Amino acid sequence: MTAQLDASLDLSKGRALVNLSRAALVERAIKAGEGRLAANGALVCETGSRTGRSPADKFLADTPQIHDKIWWGPVNKPMDPAAFDRAVEIATDYLNALDEVHVFEGFAGAEVKHRLGVRVVSGMAWHALFAQTLFIRPGSSCDAGDGSWKHDWTILAAGRRELTLEEQAALGHNSPVLIAQSLDRRIVVILGTQYAGEIKKSIFYAMNYDMPEQGVFPMHCSCNVDRNDPSNVALFFGLSGTGKTTLSADPDRALVGDDEHGWGPGGIFNFEGGCYAKCIKLSREGEPQIWDAIRFGSVLENVVIDEVTREPDYDDGSLTENTRVTYPVTFIPGARIPSVCGHAKNVIFLTADAFGVLPPVSRLSPEQAMYYFINGYTSKLAGTEAGVTEPVPNFSPCFGGPFLPRPPGEYAQMLAERIREHGANVWLLNTGWTGGPYGVGHRFELKYTRRMVSEILSGDLVNAEYETDAFFGLSIPRAVEGVPCEVLSPQNTWADKQAYAEQAKKLAELFRKNAEKFEMSDEVRSAGPRS
């Protein structure tokens, strides 16, 4: 099918603008009216009606080659191969009708042994700039290889082309938006949405399918490493908005990557060449590295800028709460380039608890690590998906459920094997609410969360004194240097202790019900909430 696709796509020289420079893409995007420059030099673009991912419109071509390996259900919805072929034809016809198409050819995966060649074909210059930033450009400083390129995956980014009612009926779909993917044909079709995150996440989904067969554990996490101790590697698992990018952008540590990684026999490597950070409420004081990375060559999505001064207003969520910035990882001072490192010493699960009852930090036993990883509790935050306008409690297996083609148990087992082999410490960090649930309490202060992370990574928290939480059985440190002791135990932050107990019991019951979906040993199941 890939060969047939290459034949049907018109990628003739002069028409297909392949791997243009960053400056050329910015110039073309502005000339085409796709965006404008902010005062800080970033290209500012809007994504139209879709300002987040569209999971309800995502489908997977169901073929005999992959059928028995897939975790079928709400995440992986089957699509008839004939319908997928029709979607490819619609996108190809649209792209062929354009005078020019922008093409990016690069890699996903900083480790040469375990990378995939990616081709992104789009009618929009800013989408090509996004792809160039998020993936690895051959011959760049992020490319650990010899600069040559091989073709594995093709993304047809036809986001301006919406499905007609007639096409929707023919495809058995009821939306003008469609994200269709074939794992054996290695093709992605994006129709009806200009949200660039669909480009990024479709390849993460591909890596989540392909990497396990190469002995690599694919992870929805950020990663950094101590500048003076290459053995001190940390992973931060979590869904969008829980703090992966913020907490891994640490001036005292070298950033490996902010979102997607593989853990292979030789260590950990970034899947990407850039970062994709939420920037609602962004400030120089709170996140200086991200603030300084927003300059020429970066892309701001759905950020409102002043009409006169062109200054971005990061507090303005009128277009969406899911405002985003994309920038090369090289824009972070001292980032690890190429983005590879050793094995993890600390593994941190990030959860934004909308109930406000989980402790801000707790140490997990091996059994608890398995339990909390496979349940993947957090809250969907406003704007990350279409229709989500406020935090919604959510269980996302492996802290990345929307991107898992295979059953979650396979990924959980890979994590358990690596934790055991390399002796990693595992932690649960709540970056969500305290003092009450969403709407009553408030989010944990970032300065305290950063302090807890520092104590984890220094090794000091391993030797702390702990007490056991009555509802969840979690080990909570009695003291963390630089953090008020009263915030460490969540019930202490609630004025109404009975209300806290009711909310804790409610969340505990949700955990138990969700855990029923998965096969797990008695030891792992008993590591969950106590009451």
Token couple for 458: 């220094």
Distance CA 526, CA 531 (A): 11
Q: How many CB atoms lie within 10 A of CB 32?
A: 13
Coil, helix or strand at residue 75: coil
User: Looking at 54, 245, 246, 434, which residue is catalytic?
Assistant: 245
Contact 185, 2 (CB under 8 A): yes
Q: Is 41 left (phi over 0), alpha (psi -120 to 50) or beta?
A: left
Distance CA 400, CA 396 (A): 6
Task: For residue 72, give the DSSP letter.
Answer: B
User: Looking at 127, 173, 200, 201, which residue is catalytic?
Assistant: 201
418 is catalytic: no
Cβ-based burial of 489 (10 A; exposed 0-12, middle 13-18, buried ≥19) = middle
Q: How many CB atoms lie within 10 A of CB 94?
A: 17
User: Looking at 114, 161, 185, 220, which residue is catalytic?
Assistant: 220
Which residues lie closer than 8 Å to 21 by C-beta, 6 or more apart? none
User: Looking at 53, 58, 186, 363, which residue is catalytic?
Assistant: 53
Token couple for 286: 């709170």
User: Looking at 259, 278, 336, 396, which residue is catalytic?
Assistant: 259
Which residues lie closer than 8 Å to 412 by C-beta, 6 or more apart? 370, 373, 374, 397, 398
220 is catalytic: yes
478 is catalytic: no
Contact 409, 518 (CB under 8 A): yes
User: Looking at 119, 186, 244, 253, which residue is catalytic?
Assistant: 244
Q: How many CB atoms lie within 10 A of CB 315?
A: 11
77 is catalytic: no
DSSP of 193-222: ---THHHHHHHHHHHHHHGGGGT-EEEEEE
Distance CA 133, CA 130 (A): 5
User: Looking at 102, 114, 119, 324, which residue is catalytic?
Assistant: 324
CA dist list (Å): 87 to 60, 179, 180, 187: 12, 9, 8, 11
Instruction: Give the pairing type, strands 101-108 and 116-122.
Output: antiparallel
Contact 257, 328 (CB under 8 A): no
Distance CA 322, CA 344 (A): 30
259 is catalytic: yes
User: Looking at 240, 351, 378, 434, which residue is catalytic?
Assistant: 240
Task: For residue 91, give the DSSP letter.
Answer: H
384 is catalytic: no
Contact 101, 1 (CB under 8 A): no
Catalytic positions are: 53, 201, 220, 240, 244-245, 259, 324
